[in-house]
Amino acid sequence: MYSIDLGSLRIYFAAALVSVPSSGVNHDWLSEEWKDTPQKLKIHQDETSVTITGLAGFGAGKGKHVIHVIEPLIKTEHELRAYFLKKAEISKLKQGVLLNAINSLEYPWGKLVSLNWTALGYAPGGAEYCILPANFSAISLGFLRLDWSTVRIHPKA
C-alpha cells in the first residue's frame, strides 16, 4: 500500500495501473487486447505536491505525475467540470462533445472526475484524472490511473 500527503489529507492506494498488450509483446498500438497491470512507483513527497514516477508502462502511464491541489481551490464537481472544459477548449470541439468526454464516478471517499483525451481525438490520448475528496478541494492526478477501488482518504493525524 502506498500513501501520499497533500495538505491535511493522506491518500492511500494499492497500485497505479498501466495498460499492456495481453499478448505480452512489446508495446503495440494496433493491439486490440489490453489488460491492466500494477506498476512499480517511485514517490517524491514535497510540501505542496507529490511527484510519482511510474517505472513501467508506456506514454502517459509512465513518466512523472505531479499530484497537487488545484489552484484556485475547487470544491464542487461543477467547478471541476468547468476546469476540464477550459483545458479541453484547445480542441476547438463543440461544448457538447467536450462534456461527453468528462466522466464522473462516486466512491466512499468522494468523486473521481476524468477527461478522456482519446475521445477528443488526441493520440495516444488517455484520461486525465482529478479527485474531489469529501470536504476537501480537488486534487489533480494528471494521467496517473490508480486502482480506484483501493483508494482511501483520511485526515492526516
pLDDT tens-digit series, residues 7-56: 899 999 998 887 666 665 555 555 567 667 778 889 999 989 999 987 76
Task: Indicate the DSSP class of residue 146.
Answer: B
- The SS3 call for residue 27 is coil
Task: Pick the range with the lowest mean pLDDT from 107-111, 115-119, 127-131.
Answer: 115-119
CA atoms of 38 and 22, how far apart (whole Å): 14
Place of cell 464537481: 77
pLDDT tens profile 62-75: 678 899 999 999 99
Range with top average pLDDT, 62-71, 73-82, 91-100, 124-133: 73-82
d(CA 31, CA 23): 9
The mean pLDDT value of the chain amounts to: 86
In terms of residue numbers, what domain contains 89? Answer: 2-24+33-155
Task: Please check whether residue 72 is in contact with residue 98, taking contact to mean a CB–CB distance below 8 angstroms.
Answer: no
pLDDT at 54: 79
Half-sphere exposure of 102 (CA within 13 A, CB side): 22
pTM of the model: 0.86
Residue 139 has phi, psi (to 5 degrees) of -120, 130
Percent of the chain clearing pLDDT 90 (strictly above): 54
Q: What pLDDT score does 20 carry?
A: 64
Indicate the number of domains in the chain. 1
